[in-house]
Amino acid sequence: MMLIPLALIQSLLLVAGQVFLKLALTRMPPFSFSVGFLKAVLCNWQFALCGVCFGLGSILWFYILKHFPFSSAYPLVSLSYVFGLIASVVVFHESVDVNKWIGVLLIMFGCYLIAK
């Protein structure tokens, strides 16, 4: 039963990384092969937090893969879609249509079946 909380934390870390990456990219100048662009990337705290979240999520994923069956662990990664949709509404104030909410409910039901 320890797999579910670990998968939830890992999925939250993945989504947090994506949210920080999107925030970082919206504050960066247009891409170019220049020192100014590199400086903007390296001085962006959202970009740094993105890397921290992805790094911690990867380390946790290593642990999950080592200690749990792949057939149970890997499908639970789809929980990141659920958290991603919620983040799109809460953080980025996007409107989400009913079809996407139905898809998220199906993902959650699938994760329930796998964890059961």
Over the stretch 40-89, which tens digit does the pLDDT of each residue have? 888 889 999 999 999 999 999 999 999 999 998 998 888 999 999 999 99
90-109 pLDDT tens trace: 999 999 999 999 999 999 99
Name the average pLDDT for the chain: 92
Measure CA 32 to chain center. Answer: 27
Amino acid at 9: I
pLDDT value at residue 39: 86
pLDDT value at residue 91: 95
Q: Scanning the structure block, which residue is given the tokens 């989400």? A: 96
